[in-house]
Amino acid sequence: MSALTDSRRMLGLLAVSAILCAAVVLLVILAGLTDDGSLAWTNRDFSNYWIASRLVLEGRVLNLFQGQDIYFAHMTAAFGAGFPWHAWSYPPHFLLLIWPLGLLPYSVSMIVFLLVTMLIYLHAVSLVARQNPEFPALFLLPFILCNVLAAQNGFMTAALLLYGLVLRDSRPLLAGIAIGLLTVKPQIGILLPLLLLFERRWIVILMAGVTTVAAVLLSVWIFGFETWTGYVQQTWPYQTRVMNEGEGIFVHMMLSTFGALRSLGYDAAAAIYGHAPVAIAAFLVFGWTLFKLRNSDNQAAGLVFATFLISPYSLVYDLGALVVVSSSIYRLGPANLSGRIAYIVLASLPLSGPMLSLGGLPVVPLLFAIGWGVLILQDVNRDRVASR
């Protein structure tokens, strides 16, 4: 087996490389050889998590949910008056997952966060790789690089989605816990209830519901009910405004049809009208594939494809699960050239997607549809061959 498709060796190499790189960077920081307060470090999405955790530890958690002006004042106080715009966009129970980050200095905390969540992500990936000996682990690199550069939570949320999908049969309790925790970023799991109901995964559904309710109630008990009213009244509306009025690179990082139209200069109203038919079509096709596709792994892959076509607010660093589950279309042999090409294109999207959009070619939704189409055709053809 070639090094390209030796998934265990490649995943191990990625994990070891991540640990070594993190160790070197931490040594450089702790030795004072770099200015860890510069924008090169602080102008990352992780700055939101670190400031939020600091506010939790200081007993000022309500400031996260009292409006952008109050929140951003804490950002500029920590990182300087010229700090670029950042906004808080997460529900209160997300704080349960990140509150310890403020116990460490900013740069050290960011490296630890990325390393730990990357290792969790690679473990979730390994569960998929066990079922697919041809899993092309090398092509995880574009997503890993993208998420490290953005310093986002993409490793964590992708791992939760993968755990929910991969373990829903063998470990339903763990799958339910993962899906319940994924509600911190609900747009990624919007189709999971439909899949679980169709498959009659009652234990998973029950555990996901219990985990969600427990996380919400725990956040109310620790942070106060006012954090949730503030989230509904302040944070959510402001994030909707950001999605509708945001400009610059942010627009090109939205990989939905809505984002594609926004990147071409259309306003939010026109973009959502253009997005709606695509979302409706994707939902209908997904419903059809639940009855048509016999392979549960392909149904899971189809769910992820459909999610990114349905949700208007999906960003480039959310592609971690799609890069993994779409690997099912990657098979060696001359008869599967189209599947390999389609997968390589999909795996490159965490880096190439924004560049295509910046170049005036926001074709990522079309590429999602093509990859999903290849998956469906492969499944149908295998059924035909089996029936013969």
**Rounded mean pLDDT, 81-107:** 94
pLDDT at 386: 58
Separation between Cα atoms, residue 106 and residue 47, nearest integer Å: 8
The helix (run of H) or strand (run of E) holding residue 172 is helix 172-181
Task: From 264, 106, 89, select the one nearest 187 (Cα to Cα).
Answer: 89
Of 275, 299, 90, whose CA–CA distance to 183 is shortest?
90
pLDDT value at residue 297: 85
CB atoms within 10 A of CB 2: 9
Count CB-CB contacts under 10 A for residue 357.
24
- For 130-165, b where at least 16 C-beta lie within 10 A, e where not — what string? eebebbbbbbbbbbbebbbebbbbbbbbbbbbbbbb
Which of 14-18, 27-31, 92-96 is the most confident on average?
92-96
All residues at 6 or more sequence positions from 101 whose CB lies less than 8 Å from its CB, including other chains: 49, 50, 53, 109, 113
Q: Map tokens 């900013």 to a residue.
A: 106
- Least-confidence region, from 2-16, 93-107, 146-160: 2-16
pTM of the model: 0.94
Contact 122, 9 (CB under 8 A): no
pLDDT band at 384 (very low <50, low <70, confident <90, very high): low
Note the pLDDT tens digit of each residue in 20-40: 988 988 888 887 767 777 887
The predicted pLDDT at position 214 comes to 97
Condensed to tens digits (0 to 9), the pLDDT of residues 326-338 reads 988 887 666 688 8
> What span, in angstroms and rounded, lies between the C-alpha atoms of 135 and 124?
13
Model confidence band, residue 211 (pLDDT cutoffs 50, 70, 90)? very high
- In this prediction, residue 243 has a pLDDT band, given cuts at 50, 70 and 90, of confident
| pLDDT value of residue 335 | 64
pLDDT tens by residue, 144-170: 999 999 999 999 999 999 999 999 999
How far is Cα 42 from Cα 107, in angstroms, rounded to an integer? 8
pLDDT 10s digits, 339-372: 899 999 999 999 999 999 999 999 999 999 999 9
| Cβ contacts of 270 within 8 Å, gap of 6 or more | 261
What's the CA gap between 74 and 17, in Å, rounded? 35
Q: What is the pLDDT of residue 280?
A: 96
Q: Give the residue among 367, 363, 84 at the shortest CA–CA distance from 248.
A: 84
Q: What is the mean pLDDT of the chain?
A: 91
CB-CB neighbours of 22 under 10 Å? 17
pLDDT band at 217 (very low <50, low <70, confident <90, very high): very high
Query: What ranges make up the beta strands (E) of 253-383?
Result: none
DSSP state of 152: -
Q: Is the pLDDT of residue 4 over 70?
A: no
The residue-averaged pLDDT of 306-319 equals 93
**Chain segment 253-306, per-residue pLDDT in tens:** 999 999 999 999 999 999 999 999 999 999 999 999 998 887 888 899 999 999
CB-side neighbour CA atoms (13 Å) of 77: 9
Report the amino acid identity of residue 71: Y
